[in-house]
Amino acid sequence: MKILLKTCQLLIVALVLTGCKNKTEKPVEDTRTIIEKCTDQYTFLSDSIKSALDTKRMMPRNIGKNGQTGLTGIYDWTSGFYPGSLWYLNLLTNDSKWENLALEYTKKLDTIQYWTGNHDVGFMIECSYGNALKKEASAAFDSVIVQTAKSLATRFHPGAGIIQSWDSSKKWNCPVIIDNMMNLELLFHATEISGDSTYYNIAVSHANKTMENHFRADNSSFHVLNYDTETGEVLEKRTHQGYADDSAWARGQAWGLYGFTLCYRVTKDENYLNQALKIADFIKNHPNLPEDNIPYWDYNAPVDENTPRDASAAAITASALLELSGYLSTEKSNIYNTFANDIIKSLSSPAYFAETGTNNGFLLKHSVGSLPHGVEIDTPLNYADYYFLEALYRQQN
Ligand code: GLY
């Protein structure tokens, strides 16, 4: 009888534990506390860079080798992330202090709408003006989105069906990087605003070519493809920021996951959803993914105790997974939602989340910009903070 009772008790405990594991975790209390810490830390950051507001380098990007906050100008590819983070703080707290600051920094980017110098205008304008439009409708801001899409569309090669990432050089004929998937959000947004399907069609063409050419059999992606602009032939498959041409650069996998998820959001094309799921599984099941779910800078980098993690890749992945899980059946959704929440939990821990008043005001520690170029290794990065805040916002909503 005793043995039977004990067995029943164990069975009940096991069932309860299994139930908990399959339930969507939503650590509301923890999230609130972490949001408060984010506002304290960004108050510290914004106060510390106030004097640079009306200079040419006003956007905080990283911590330089000299320990000072690295500030950049509006043409830097990361210039939209600081205003974007301020918008997320406003959306998360409803405190008008963040709205005023976000507006001030967003408007600094006004001239970027006419810039055709590279593909990053999607990041720059969608993270700043795009998020401003989440807060409040504005015809003036709508027109910035549409004009930026016009500028970005000048980089589209109809023969090859792709948007050129960087200008041609001695090294590249027509380089397209996996990161470019992120710029499609702005094109979709411009069609939604203007009703002009040109931008939507360019985005779909680029996504389809990327799906066709950028991925390997194991569902990891190359970083850079070099195209012939007329025929669309892929001339080379290389890396720029990864460990090797045939390795899986961690942030590149995150950009792909986020990019195909957003393509599914807009088009409802199941091929994009399946591509996003394949990338999510590649990341989730990778043998080199550490137990705390924060990847090393490249999934194929040799690992020792000094190999840097990339918190930015983790933050982008978490935010993308939260969106992806919303498009799935309950059972599947729970898997990716739990994975996202586990990543956020790790990023919110003292190992990655900076104590208020430290880390020059940035939220997250331990990201990598470009290890092969020896820059931004194990540093805070403004885009790690941006996608972390976006993930908190998605978690909250
Ligand atoms: N888009 C550039 C990077 O991810 O470093």
Let me know: does 31 contact 396? Beta carbons within 8 Å.
yes
- Residues 153-176 have a mean pLDDT of 98
Atom of ligand 1 nearest to the CA of 255: 4
Q: Crossing angle, helix 139-153 and helix 197-213, to 10 degrees?
A: 50
Q: Hey, whose CA ends up nearest to atom 1 of ligand 1? A: 179
Q: What percent of the chain has pLDDT over 90?
A: 92
167 a catalytic residue: no
328-371 pLDDT per residue, tens: 999 999 999 999 999 999 999 999 999 999 999 999 999 999 99
281-313 pLDDT per residue, tens: 999 999 999 999 999 999 999 999 999 999 999
Atom of ligand 1 nearest to the CA of 312: 4
Cβ neighbours around 224 below 10 Å, total: 25
CA of 22 to the centre of ligand 1 (A): 34
List own/partner pairs for 132-136 with CB under 8 A and 24 or more apart. 132/87, 132/102, 132/103, 132/106, 134/87, 134/91, 135/87, 135/90, 135/91, 135/99
- Can you state the percent helix, strand and coil of the chain, rounding each to 5? 55, 10, 35
Q: What is the per-residue pLDDT for 26?
A: 47
Ligand 1, pocket-test mutation among 179, 239, 240, most atoms within 8 A of CB: 179
- Residues 21-43 have a mean pLDDT of 75
Q: Please report which confidence band the pLDDT of residue 174 belongs to, taking 50, 70 and 90 as the band edges.
A: very high
List own/partner pairs for 2-11 with CB under 8 A and 24 or more apart. none
Cα(7)–Cα(1) distance, integer angstroms: 10
CA of 368 to the centre of ligand 1 (A): 10
Reduced to 3 states (helix: H, G, I; strand: E, B; else coil), residue 5 is: helix
Region of 219 (left: φ > 0; alpha: ψ -120 to 50; beta: rest) is left
Q: Which residues line ligand 1 (CB under 6 A)?
A: 77, 179, 241, 251
pTM confidence score: 0.93
226-263 pLDDT per residue, tens: 999 999 999 999 999 999 999 999 999 999 999 999 99
> What letter does residue 361 receive in the DSSP assignment?
G
CA of 3 to the centre of ligand 1 (A): 59
Please say if the pLDDT value at position 167 is more than 70. Answer: yes
Catalytic residue among 120, 298, 310, 385: 120
178-214 pLDDT per residue, tens: 999 999 999 999 999 999 999 999 999 999 999 999 9
CA of 121 to the centre of ligand 1 (A): 13
CA of 383 to the centre of ligand 1 (A): 9
**Contacts (Cβ under 8 Å, ≥6 apart) of 238:** 222, 223, 224, 225, 226, 245
- Residues 36-44 have a mean pLDDT of 98
Domain ranges within the chain, ordered by starting residue = 43-396
Q: Which residues are annotated as a binding site for substrate?
A: 120, 179, 239, 251, 255, 370
Q: Which of 353, 374, 281 is nearest to 311 (CA)?
A: 353
**Contacts (Cβ under 8 Å, ≥6 apart) of 22:** 331, 334
Q: Which residues are annotated as a binding site?
A: 120, 179, 239, 251, 255, 370
179 a catalytic residue: yes
What is the number of residues in the chain? 397
Distances (CA, A) of 279 to 29, 131, 254, 260, 396: 31, 26, 8, 9, 25
Q: Hey, whose CA ends up nearest to atom 5 of ligand 1? A: 369
Q: Output the CATH code of domain 43-396.
A: 1.50.10.10
Catalytic residue among 179, 298, 310, 385: 179
